[in-house]
Amino acid sequence: MLIFFKERLALLSVPKTGTTAYQDALKGRADLVFANPPELKHAPVYRYNRWIRPMLAKVCDAEMELVAVMREPVSWLGSWYRFRQRDELRGHQNSTQTVSFDAFLRAACKGKPAPYANVGSQAKFLEAQPNGCSVRHMFRYETSEALHGFLEDRLKTRFELPRLNVSPNADLDANEETLALVHRKRAEEFDLYNSIP
């Protein structure tokens, strides 16, 4: 997560949406950088609202506009699947090396997913809070030039994005029944993604 105090912006780091590259490119421009631990770097809206927003309000009398990126849900799950194919996870319960993408998708749709498919939900990560704390500027991962342009305009700076955190290639084949299951079980994610202009 990056906080830009003067511009009153907080860029959330939704996992598997390329925000690590933005963090690397803009860390010198940001006023606060939450790079570690992952619980702070990838703080969802509810955690931002509970801990970070009150700190900024009490100490700085400032309210930030939240900015976030969302990835098409099947693509997002595919990125998690590929990320967990890494050799360093071989033999670990989070490894997907012995699981097909189709099986991974089915596991991700269960009420209690297997560890390798327990990746959470973008919709839950981005969920508006009862007090009104919500993402004001939402961008699709697949149209990253829109976010890039928005940030360059608001921050009055030009920057290049490095290529970071690239997952290994993997077969992402899934049958139609499985894809239909994903759409049904994770409908709120598709609804949120489709609501982004």
Tokens of 62: 């400032």
- Give per-residue pLDDT as tens, 130-146: 999 999 999 999 999 99
Quick check: 165 pLDDT over 80? Answer: no
Q: How confident is the model at residue 15 (pLDDT cuts 50, 70, 90)?
A: very high
Taking only the tens place, the pLDDT of each residue in 38-96 is 999 999 999 999 999 999 999 999 999 999 999 999 999 999 999 999 999 999 999 99
Question: Per the domain annotation, does 197 fall within a domain?
Answer: no
Phi then psi for 119, rounded to 5 degrees? -115, 0
Cα(128)–Cα(139) distance, integer angstroms: 16
Look at residue 50 and tell me if it is in a domain: yes
pLDDT, mean of residues 146-150: 97
Phi-psi region of 35 (alpha: psi -120 to 50; beta: other; left: phi over 0): alpha
Is 59 within a domain? yes
Mean pLDDT of the chain: 96
Query: What DSSP state is assigned to residue 112?
Result: S
pLDDT over 90 (residue 33): yes
Cα separation, 81 vs 21, in Å, equals 20
Number of domains in the chain: 1
Q: Is the pLDDT of residue 173 over 90?
A: yes
Asked, for residue 170, whether it belongs to a domain, the answer is yes
Distance of alpha carbon 137 from alpha carbon 11, whole angstroms: 9
105 domain-assigned: yes
The answer to whether residue 81 sits within a structural domain is yes
Parent domain of 40: 2-192
pLDDT digits (tens, 9 = 90+) for 115-126: 999 999 999 999
Q: Which domain CATH number covers 81?
A: 3.40.50
